[in-house]
């Protein structure tokens, strides 16, 4: 396991040691989540759909970390919630350890849910301010009727606190008595209380000070190693995702536009959207920083209720070509083993035969 000790450590390239690939624990197949837009006095008239996620397929190997990046509103959280079946996909399959959970219900769904947990951006929103830490951490154990061992739930709570680097005395305190980083530790302890196999962490460090971010990232990595966890980490911050992920998927307006192992994606990005995201990461060297080229995206993210025809990125793409880009939605295709890109002209852009519009 790689360990971050400094505040800039999340920015260092190629830090993460690739783990031996395990079997696929999570397989998402053509998942879509469309939210109805309703009108009328009792909102009974469906006038359209927000296509928050629109046909995503990806695989996450056991024991690995899949990083999902993209700007706000591209559908990352919605996909994460669909993976955990916190919402039901409109279409598609979510295979978790060999079972399609997209259509499960009742007791089977409840059992699957205990094997998958979520870590939220703001632990305050997932922790009840009136509940002590002990109550918050023992609640999932009680809800899933986990047998209390010798020492009861209190002993398990102590163990969990120890695992996330908090003193046993934290058990009797309340969320507001802790700092942001400590609260996130409590949120993580709650997520791992049931010893899940998959943890979806939605922006787990973006609400924290940079100095605390590295500590929480370290904790997530330590727990991954000690508990054999598989992660899906959702973030808009490429630097964080780069450090923790084995594989990175870049999302734009409800779909994946590029996927590769972390080192490849950062060394050799091919989709114009990924290039733009990369060019926005500050470089620590002031000389390089002053001279490097930035790709600024035009306009805002289009509405997922009315996505552009053809390539969804075509309205903002600096390399857009007449014809195909606006008429044909590019599928994800393999440009190198394990590296897929959804762009008609990825090779030409890379070779420099298609250049940016002035
Ligand atoms: N319950 C809902 N009903 C209607 N639209 C929704 C709902 N939840 C999300 N959306 C819309 O779906 C789109 C994707 O939202 P989502 O939160 O998944 O994006 P995101 O990439 O996670 O962004 P953020 O980082 O801001 O959470 C957005 O346009 C959002 O407004």
Give the pLDDT confidence of 194-219 residue by residue, as tens digits.
Answer: 999 999 999 999 888 888 999 999 99
Residue 308 reports pLDDT greater than 80:
yes
Mean pLDDT of 314-325: 94
Mean pLDDT of 295-299: 80
Q: How far is Cα 214 from Cα 6, in angstroms, rounded to an integer?
A: 7
299 or 177: which carries more pLDDT confidence? 177
Task: Give yes or no for residue 73 CB within 6 A of ligand 1.
Answer: yes
Contact status, residue 262 vs residue 16, Cβ threshold 8 Å? yes
Residue 16 reports pLDDT greater than 70:
no
- 129 burial via Cβ count (<10 Å: 0-12, 13-18, 19+): exposed
Task: Give yes or no for residue 75 CB within 6 A of ligand 1.
Answer: yes
Residue 104 reports pLDDT greater than 80:
yes
Atom of ligand 1 nearest to the CA of 304: 29
Atom 25, ligand 1: which residue's CA is nearest? Answer: 72
Residue 282 reports pLDDT greater than 90:
no
Q: How far is Cα 138 from Cα 152, in angstroms, rounded to an integer?
A: 10
pLDDT category, 19, cuts 50, 70, 90? very low
Atom of ligand 1 nearest to the CA of 251: 21
Helix, strand, coil in percent for the chain, rounding step 5 = 35, 25, 40
Which residue is associated with the tokens 């779909």? 255
What are the two backbone dihedrals, phi and then psi, of residue 219, each rounded to the nearest 5 degrees?
-60, -45
pLDDT at 143 (0 to 100): 87
Task: Give yes or no for residue 34 CB within 6 A of ligand 1.
Answer: no
Atom of ligand 1 nearest to the CA of 74: 21
Mean pLDDT of 16-27: 68
pLDDT at 92 (0 to 100): 96
pLDDT at 215 (0 to 100): 93
Q: How far is Cα 93 from Cα 345, in angstroms, rounded to an integer?
A: 30
Mean pLDDT of 344-352: 94
For residue 39, list its beta bridge partners: 45
Mean pLDDT of 112-125: 87
Task: Give yes or no for residue 76 CB within 6 A of ligand 1.
Answer: yes
pLDDT at 310 (0 to 100): 95
Residue 246 reports pLDDT greater than 70:
yes
How many residues in the chain? 358
- 326 burial via Cβ count (<10 Å: 0-12, 13-18, 19+): middle
Q: Give the chain's mean pLDDT.
A: 88
111 or 302: which carries more pLDDT confidence? 302
Atom 30, ligand 1: which residue's CA is nearest? Answer: 73
Residue 13 reports pLDDT greater than 50:
no
What's the 301 CA to ligand 1 centre distance in angstroms?
A: 12
Instruction: Give, as one character, the DSSP assignment of residue 342.
Output: -
* Rounded percentage of the chain residues whose pLDDT exceeds 70: 92
pLDDT at 288 (0 to 100): 67
pLDDT at 124 (0 to 100): 77
Instruction: Name the residue of 38, 46, 77 whose CB sits within 8 Å of the most ligand 1 atoms, as the mutation to test its pocket.
Output: 77
Task: Give yes or no for residue 254 CB within 6 A of ligand 1.
Answer: no
pLDDT at 10 (0 to 100): 36
Model pTM score: 0.90
What's the 41 CA to ligand 1 centre distance in angstroms?
A: 24
Residue 358 reports pLDDT greater than 70:
no
Task: Give yes or no for residue 304 CB within 6 A of ligand 1.
Answer: yes
- Least confident range from 3-7, 22-26, 39-43, 259-263: namely 3-7
pLDDT category, 21, cuts 50, 70, 90? low
Residue 4 reports pLDDT greater than 90:
no
Cα distances (Å, whole numbers) of residue 50 to 38, 54, 90, 188, 251: 11, 10, 11, 31, 16
pLDDT in tens, 142-196: 888 887 777 788 999 999 999 999 999 999 999 999 999 999 999 999 999 999 9
- Least confident range from 131-145, 206-220, 282-296: namely 282-296
Task: Give yes or no for residue 77 CB within 6 A of ligand 1.
Answer: yes
Mean pLDDT of 320-349: 95
For residues 11, 180, 75, 282, the Cα torsion angle rounded to the nearest 10 degrees is -20
* Rounded percentage of the chain residues whose pLDDT exceeds 90: 67
- Please calculate the CA angle 276-259-343 and round it to the nearest 5 degrees: 60
> Which residues lie below 8 Å from residue 74, measured CB to CB, with a gap of 6+?
251, 252, 253, 254, 301
Task: Give yes or no for residue 35 CB within 6 A of ligand 1.
Answer: yes
pLDDT category, 281, cuts 50, 70, 90? confident
């Amino acid at each position: 396991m790689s360990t971050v000790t400094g505040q800039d450590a999340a920015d260092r390239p190629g830090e993460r040691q690739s783990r031996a690939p395990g079997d696929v624990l999570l397989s998402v197949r053509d998942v879509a989540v469309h939210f109805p837009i309703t009108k009328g006095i009792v909102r009974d008239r469906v006038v359209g759909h927000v296509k928050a996620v629109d046909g995503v397929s990806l695989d996450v190997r056991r024991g690995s970390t899949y990083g999902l990046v993209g700007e706000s509103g591209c559908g990352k959280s919605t996909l994460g919630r669909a993976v955990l079946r916190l919402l039901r996909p409109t279409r598609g399959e979510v295979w978790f350890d060999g079972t399609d959970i997209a259509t499960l219900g009742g007791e089977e769904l409840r059992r699957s849910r205990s094997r998958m947990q979520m870590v939220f951006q703001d632990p305050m929103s997932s922790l009840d301010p009136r509940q002590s830490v002990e109550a918050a951490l023992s609640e999932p154990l009680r809800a899933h009727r986990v047998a209390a061992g010798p020492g009861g739930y209190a002993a398990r709570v102590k163990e969990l606190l120890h695992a996330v680097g908090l003193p046993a005395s934290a058990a009797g305190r309340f969320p507001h008595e802790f700092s942001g980083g400590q609260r996130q530790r409590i949120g993580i302890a709650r997520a791992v209380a049931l010893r899940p196999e998959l943890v979806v962490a939605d922006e787990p460090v973006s609400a924290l000070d940079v100095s605390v971010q590295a500590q929480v990232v370290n904790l997530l990595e330590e727990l991954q190693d000690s508990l054999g966890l598989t992660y899906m980490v959702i973030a808009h911050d490429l630097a964080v995702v780069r450090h923790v992920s084995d594989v990175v998927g870049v999302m734009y307006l409800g779909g994946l536009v590029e996927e590769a192992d972390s080192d490849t994606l950062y060394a050799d990005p091919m989709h114009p959207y990924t290039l733009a995201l990369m060019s926005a990461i500050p470089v620590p060297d002031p000389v390089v920083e002053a001279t490097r080229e930035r790709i600024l995206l035009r306009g805002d993210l289009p509405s997922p209720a009315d996505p552009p025809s053809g390539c969804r990125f075509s309205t903002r793409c600096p390399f857009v070509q007449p014809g195909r880009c606006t008429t044909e939605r590019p599928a994800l295709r393999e440009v190198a083993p394990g590296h897929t890109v959804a762009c008609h002209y990825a090779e030409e852009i890379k070779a420099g035969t298609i250049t940016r519009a002035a």
